[in-house]
Amino acid sequence: MIRMYRISMASILLFSAQQANAELTLGLDFLQDSGDRDISASYSSSGNEFDTSGYIADSTGYRLRLGFGSVKDNRTELYFSQYDVDDDGQFGDKQEWELGVNYIATFFKNSVNPSLKPVTPFLKAGLGFGQADTNMEFITSSGETTDNIYNVHLNLGGGVSYFFTDNIAVTGGIEYVYRDWEDIKYGFVTIDTTDSLFRFGVGIDVSF
Taking only the tens place, the pLDDT of each residue in 55-66 is: 888 999 999 999
How confident is residue 135, by pLDDT bands cut at 50, 70 and 90? confident
pLDDT at 126 (0 to 100)? 96
Task: Looking at mean pLDDT, say which of 74-88, 137-151, 183-197 comes out highest.
Answer: 74-88
pLDDT at 94: 74
Q: 194 versus 141: which is more confidently predicted?
A: 194
Give the SS3 label for residue 166: coil
The residue among 30 and 140 whose pLDDT is bigger is 30
For residue 15, pLDDT beyond 60: no
pLDDT value of residue 145: 75
Please say if the pLDDT value at position 129 is more than 80: yes
2-207 is a CATH 3.20.20.450 domain: no
Average pLDDT estimate for 71-89:
86
Phi, psi of 165, deg, nearest 5 = -140, 180
